[in-house]
Structure 1
Amino acid sequence: MRAHRLYARDDASECSPDSDVDRLTGLRIGAIFIVLGTSLFGALFPVIARRHRILGLVIPETAFRVAKYFGSGVIIATAFIHLLDPATQELGSPCLAAGWQDYPYAMAICLGSIFMIFIVELIAFRWGTAVLAKVGAQHDAHGHGFPSGSAHGPEGQSRGPNAGANKLEYVDVDDIRGVDKSSGDVEKGSAQLSSDHQPGPLSDSAIAQIIGIAILEFGVLLHSVFVGLTLAVDEEFKILFVVIVFHQTFEGLGVGSRLAYMELPKKYAYVPVVGAILFAITTPVGMAAGLGVRSTYNPNGATANIVSGVLDAFSAGILIYTALVELLAHEFVFNKDMIEGSNTNLAFALVCMMFGAGLMALLGKWA
């Protein structure tokens, strides 16, 4: 999210510090609180609205489905348009040494990030499966592989091939629902934490959900800090500020809609709220830091380009993996309701998702 994306500069001035960063200081300070408010609204509103009545109103479930699929599209567009493209420009900047022009470093870093997240998740779920196997519990990391037509996501449900055939002693009643407390037994593969509260696999346990949302937020938060830093020192502040307000609202809805669909035990009920607040404060924190160093920080310099480009490319890999694997694949390809359900519901979900992606991609014209 660089200033040269808004207005072209000649090569001589492109690497120089902006000359008017001290203008509009009062508005820049006020913008911190405006961005905080819009980010907090976008991320926190879906979380609170899905759990509580607001002003006595019950928001229809359809509204949350729109927000969820719209948010998925926003996250996908953020990865490609707002992260990978700026990273390519930053690491290909003429302000850098000639060696940076000889190889697509942004693409390589993004590729490495995708494989890193994949390997970390693979190891984590292999370890988790082994631990659960020792206590005789069935674990399916993403709801795949069950002959009964398993599904992943808020609408789906999964059962093991021998569900109900055997009884197992249950160990941790806090993390899994559907436990017969009178006998201490639980049906194999019958506990689930989905939004419709139907029986399902251990894949939707609290820890699995928290790890998934943590990966998503990590990529978004890195991006948000540099958004705020750039906004605070950019000489074309007014235009970028308006765009960032919409950007943070839509991205907040994307993150908030995923947080809202987390179904956690009471002891983890604070996690979605904390996740929304973390998202909301990162861009204002970046803006405050930018205002503090605006007299010495050169957003067009070589160091800033390298740091921002590397982190943008790394974040892009995280969001690409999360968007394509955790969102698209699990919400559609491996979701029984999408595969066997009505064409109307499928079309509705696809339209919402593509609308979110299209709107966020359009914002990439200015930011």
Structure 2
Amino acid sequence: MAAGVEDWDRELQIGGVFIILGVGALGAMLPVACKHVEWLNVSPWLLTLGKFFGAGVILATAFVHMLGGATETLKDDCLDGRMGDFDNWPGLLAMLAVLAMHLIEHVLTAAYVGGSNDDLAHMSSRNAATLAEHNNDEDEESKAEKVPVSGHLSHGHVHAPLFTDVDRKRRHLSTYILELGIALHSVIVGMTLAVTGGMEFKTLLAAISFHQFFEGVALGTRISELQFIRRPLALGLLNAMVFAVTTPLGQIIGIGIRQTFAPRSPSSLIIMGVLDSLSAGILMYSAIVNLLVEEFAAKEFCASTRKARVACFVAMYAGCAGMSIIGKWA
């Protein structure tokens, strides 16, 4: 997403802030509202397809738009060898962003979910010891009256809440990591849009609006699936709004620095190329790990009908194709 310089229009830029805010808020809040507001009669199946379509949009944005744009920017003739003899800076920086996101998710998972896993392991070992002791007592009393091991699955009432709590925490954390990755990327995209002018701005605004809506649908659907203990609608809408304001925030920052920003200067090209590369890596991790791997490996997905699974794959591929085609113009 290269920055243009001609015919920069402040009023048009300010209008773009509200357009992106509205589109992003609509995409992210719609699934949450449909989950909790009875009169919004939108099919959950339609939102599920939107989630997978959005996953494809995010993936294509990372590879086609962000990484491609970063490569073009960091190979610009204006840099005149300032990047040294190494030609793969975009790929290296994207990889570093992926590794950083992986480390962040691991640290947060250990801190947020680790305690529950320890409790679960302790409870499981204690139940196993109790079960073994109970079976030994039965052996001594009478093998004839021995209850099968499967009969002790009544202990499941102890296990179930723990497993549910761990799964709930993992789902919450995964969704927040996804939102964090998207938010970091969105601020960078907003800054890029804000320093772009002329027809390139209008084309980029249309592409980002498409991207924001379906990215919002993907994230909003994940948020709507979270099990909030209190005020689920309010918390869901709050999380959706956090996503909606990130790109406009980047636009406001970009508008603020526009007077001192020279898009074609070597330092500006390096900054934008580095930010686009890091943004690409963040989106790659978010799309592949937090959406593709997690959603397609979910028990509910694997247990669904073949027709439903095929429809989800087609929706994801369509999202990739649609955003890749838009890459021809933006």
Confirm or deny that 1:301 pairs with 2:265: yes
CA gap 1:300/1:43 in 2 versus in 1, 3 angstroms: farther
* Aligned residue among 302, 312, 320 for 2:284: 320
Alignment of 1:258-269 (within 5 A): 258-266=222-230
Whole-angstrom distance in 1 between the partners of 2:238 and 2:75: 36
Whole-angstrom distance in 2 between the partners of 1:129 and 1:277: 25
- 1:20 alignment counterpart: 7
- 2:2 alignment counterpart: 2
Confirm or deny that 1:225 pairs with 2:210: no
Confirm or deny that 1:121 pairs with 2:84: no
**Partner SS state of residue 166, structure 1:** helix
- 2:61 alignment counterpart: 78
CA gap 1:3/1:293 in 2 versus in 1, 3 angstroms: closer
Confirm or deny that 1:191 pairs with 2:153: no
TM-fit CA distance, 1:301: 2.4
Whole-angstrom distance in 2 between the partners of 1:97 and 1:202: 56
**Partner SS state of residue 227, structure 2:** coil
Whole-angstrom distance in 1 between the partners of 2:7 and 2:16: 17
Whole-angstrom distance in 1 between the partners of 2:250 and 2:151: 52
CA gap 1:116/1:94 in 2 versus in 1, 3 angstroms: same
1:63-119 alpha-carbon deviations (Å, 9 max, x no partner): 221122112212211221222222222233333351415221111111122222223
**Partner SS state of residue 2, structure 1:** coil
Whole-angstrom distance in 1 between the partners of 2:244 and 2:171: 20
Q: Which has the higher helix share?
A: 2
Query: For structure 1, which segment, 337-346 or 28-37, has the greater mean C-alpha deviation from structure 2 after superposition?
Result: 337-346
CA gap 1:365/1:134 in 2 versus in 1, 3 angstroms: same
CA gap 1:79/1:366 in 2 versus in 1, 3 angstroms: same
2:75 alignment partner AA: G
Whole-angstrom distance in 1 between the partners of 2:46 and 2:206: 26
Confirm or deny that 1:205 pairs with 2:168: yes
Whole-angstrom distance in 1 between the partners of 2:300 and 2:204: 41
CA contact (8 A) 1:224 1:283 kept: yes
Confirm or deny that 1:335 pairs with 2:318: no
Alignment of 1:30-45 (within 5 A): 30-45=15-30
Whole-angstrom distance in 1 between the partners of 2:152 and 2:232: 27
Count, aligned residues = 301
CA gap 1:128/1:283 in 2 versus in 1, 3 angstroms: closer
CA gap 1:316/1:164 in 2 versus in 1, 3 angstroms: farther
**Partner SS state of residue 95, structure 1:** helix
**Partner SS state of residue 211, structure 1:** helix
Confirm or deny that 1:286 pairs with 2:250: yes
Confirm or deny that 1:359 pairs with 2:322: yes
Give the root-mean-square deviation of aligned CA atoms: 2.9
- 2:178 alignment counterpart: 216
Whole-angstrom distance in 2 between the partners of 1:275 and 1:86: 29
CA contact (8 A) 1:92 1:101 kept: no
CA gap 1:163/1:289 in 2 versus in 1, 3 angstroms: farther
CA gap 1:261/1:82 in 2 versus in 1, 3 angstroms: farther
CA gap 1:273/1:133 in 2 versus in 1, 3 angstroms: same
- 1:345 alignment counterpart: 308
CA gap 1:262/1:309 in 2 versus in 1, 3 angstroms: farther
CA contact (8 A) 2:181 2:282 kept: yes
CA gap 1:74/1:60 in 2 versus in 1, 3 angstroms: same
Whole-angstrom distance in 1 between the partners of 2:111 and 2:40: 44
Alignment of 1:104-115 (within 5 A): 104-115=88-99
TM-fit CA distance, 1:135: 3.0
1:165-212 alpha-carbon deviations (Å, 9 max, x no partner): 537xxxxxxxxxxxxxxxxxx521x238xxxxxxx5444224x33322
CA contact (8 A) 2:109 2:173 kept: no
TM-fit CA distance, 1:344: 0.8
CA gap 1:203/1:326 in 2 versus in 1, 3 angstroms: farther
CA contact (8 A) 2:73 2:269 kept: yes
**Partner SS state of residue 205, structure 1:** helix
- 2:140 alignment counterpart: none
CA gap 1:135/1:293 in 2 versus in 1, 3 angstroms: closer
What residue ranges of structure 1 are gaps of 5+ in the alignment? Answer: 5-17, 140-160, 168-185, 193-199
Whole-angstrom distance in 1 between the partners of 2:3 and 2:62: 19
- 1:51 alignment counterpart: 36
Please tell me whether Structure 1 or Structure 2 has the larger radius of gyration of its CA atoms: 2
1:132-178 alpha-carbon deviations (Å, 9 max, x no partner): 35434589xxxxxxxxxxxxxxxxxxxxx9994537xxxxxxxxxxx
1:254-298 alpha-carbon deviations (Å, 9 max, x no partner): 322222222222167644323321221122222223333322212
CA gap 1:66/1:34 in 2 versus in 1, 3 angstroms: same
The TM-score normalised by the length of structure 2 is: 0.79
